[in-house]
Amino acid sequence: MSRVIAVSNRVARPRGGSKSAGGLAVGVLAALKEHGGLWFGWNGRTVRGEPGDVTLEEDGRISYATIDLNEQAYELYYNGFSNTSLWPICHYLLGFFRYERREFDAYRRVNALFARKLLPLLQPDDLIWVHDYHLIPLASELRRAGARQPIGFYLHVPFPDIEVLRVLPVYRELLRSLCAYDVVGFQTPRDLRCFKEAIAERDIGGLERADRRNTRPAAPMHADAFPIGIDVDDCQALAMESGEQDNVRRMVRHLHGRQLLIGVDRLDYSKGLPDRFRAFARLLENYPAIRNHVSYLQIAPATRSGVRAYAEIRQELEQLAGKINGEFADIDWVPIRYLNRAFDRPTLMAFFREASVGLVTPLRDGMNLVAKEFIAAQDETDPGVLVLSQLAGAAEELTEAVLVNPYDVDGVADGVHRALSMPREERVERHASMLATLRRNDITAWRSRFVDALLAARQ
């Protein structure tokens, strides 16, 4: 059986203590679990000079091959081009966008370094699966270095509309790099449409054909939507088994019978947290009878601390939470509990199960796995209600959620109020329909479809 070689910017070791590695790590691990394979990427350490040799570690059927990165290269490639140019563009948040040519140069150099270090580890019948926006040029670099294996790329974030993409000075170069892959996968049909429209531009298509002649006269590139799913049974089992854990019982005790609203996100400006806090305040303003009957728990561990916008949003949220609690709290009630830390999966799933409302209101999101996990973790006979942003990829599948526009503070407040007062029968019906959707397209289906597409590319 072919090995799957997963490549991502960061390798999240299961025993590395990283509790909040995000949706990408969940997906990559799932991709490797069944077949076994190799996960290649950065180890999280930076060094002053040249990065050293690849470190290899085994853990069951999965091998981990990791490298250091030079301190300055990391700053320019990761904090710079990846997270200050590409991330805002992909999330349609142009106010956060900035471009520096030297950051793009470093991005290309780090991709070339990844290719050089990965190449000696490859075997002829491997399937290479590259993950996310940090590594778009990797296939062209690998081909240039002589790799002949099928190479696929999966974009975990949204693919923006061409008119937004055009803001990026080097967008054509990135589109051409994408065309060097055998398989290119997106979260939703909408992302796929945007990609197809972008590469339909005459000059991109022409260069694509020329590039392909130079590098690999193989079958045409296959582009498709592969919406990422979750392990439904695992989430369900964790949610049911973990209810008696000490931290879950403590959380429930402090509710004193109030209805729980929960949000779980990385602390990222794309997650719409300030607007979500404002919508919660608007809920308390517009529906005063609800005061002292609900408790909002927001879990949001800090990420990407090297990017200024992330430090700023952290400050903004602390101020907002303080202001809202100052305005509405009572001697026996704190409206918002805002925790800047990660929790393990069992605890999160049990928290979800206790909640009456799951708040998932990103300003834009590739998929949003939290939305799916929230549904899977519910008690099917008395489920909570998902309030979901129309601008998350998950909204294309979870159409029975209460769908809201995350920018519309009053609209989100109304949506939450509707969720809180929804009759049980309606909750059960909506939940059953969404659970069936999650089962039809779970994490196994996602991985199998992508690996099959890579195998087909080899033939």
Q: Which of these is catalytic: 182, 191, 265, 365?
A: 365
Q: Compare residues 30 and 453 and give the one whose CB is closer to ligand ADP.
A: 30
Kindly determine how many residues on this chain lie close enough to bind ligand ADP according to the rule CB under 6 A.
19
The residue at minimum Cβ distance from ligand ADP is 23
Other Cβ atoms within 10 Å of 155 Cβ, number: 22
Q: Which stretch binds ligand ADP (CB under 6 A): 99-107, 186-194, 262-270, 429-437?
A: 262-270
Q: Which two tokens stand for residue 266?
A: 């990385």
Contact in structure between 313 and 267 (CB atoms under 8 Å): yes
- 363 is an interface residue for ligand ADP by CB under 6 A: no
Stretch that binds ligand ADP, among 131-139, 273-281, 365-373, 406-414 (CB under 6 A): 365-373
Q: List binders of ligand ADP among 24-43 (CB under 6 A).
A: 24, 26
* Tokens 């590098």 -> residue: 215
Cα–Cα dist 277/413, whole Å: 10
Burial class (CB in 10 A: 0-12, 13-18, 19+), 15: exposed
Apex 12 CA angle, 177 and 229, nearest 5:
70
- CB nearer to ligand ADP: pick between 226 and 328: 226
Closer of 20 and 82 to ligand ADP (Cβ)? 20
431 is catalytic: no
Q: Three-state DSSP class for 154?
A: strand
Tell me if 267 sits within 8 A of 340, measured CB to CB.
yes
* Separation between Cα atoms, residue 153 and residue 184, nearest integer Å: 5
CB of 192 to ligand ADP, least distance (A): 18
**Does residue 272 contact residue 359 with C-beta atoms inside 8 Å?**
no
Name the residue nearer to ligand ADP (CB basis): 243 or 301: 301
The region of 4-12, 88-96, 260-268, 404-412 touching ligand ADP under the rule CB under 6 A is: 260-268
Neighbours of 331 (CB within 10 A): 4
What gap in Å lies between CA 454 and CA 37, rounded to an integer?
15
Site for ligand ADP in 324-353 (CB under 6 A): 342-343, 348
Q: Closer to ligand ADP by CB, 182 or 373: give it.
A: 373
Q: Counting contacts by CB under 6 A, is residue 264 touching ligand ADP?
A: yes
Q: Is 156 a catalytic residue?
A: yes
Note whether 389 binds ligand ADP by CB under 6 A: no
Of the ranges 147-155, 201-209, 259-267, 282-290, which one interacts with ligand ADP (CB under 6 A)? 259-267
Q: Rule CB under 6 A: is residue 20 a binding residue for ligand ADP?
A: yes
- CA-based nearest residue to 187, from 199, 195, 179, 178: 195
CB of 118 or CB of 232, closer to ligand ADP: 232
- To ligand ADP, the closest distance from the beta carbon of 236 in angstroms equals 14
Catalytic residue among 131, 156, 417, 431: 156
* Identity of the residue numbered 54: V
* Beta-carbon contacts of residue 214 (< 8 Å; ≥ 6 apart): none
147 binds ligand ADP (CB under 6 A): no
Dihedral sign, Cα of residue 332, residue 335, residue 341, residue 347:
positive
Smallest separation (angstroms) from ligand ADP to the CB of 15 = 16
How is residue 380 written in tokens? 């099917």
Residue 19 sits in the site that holds ligand ADP (CB under 6 A): yes
Cβ-based nearer residue to ligand ADP, 84 or 368: 368
In order, the DSSP letters of 255-283 are: TTTPEEEEEE--B-GGG-HHHHHHHHHHH
DSSP letter for each residue of 135-150: GTTHHHHHHHTT--S-
Q: Does residue number 298 form part of the binding site for ligand ADP (CB under 6 A)? A: no
Site for ligand ADP contains 367 (CB under 6 A):
yes
List residues binding ligand ADP (CB under 6 A): 19-20, 22-24, 26, 264-266, 299, 301, 342-343, 348, 367-370, 373
Catalytic annotation, residues? 156, 365
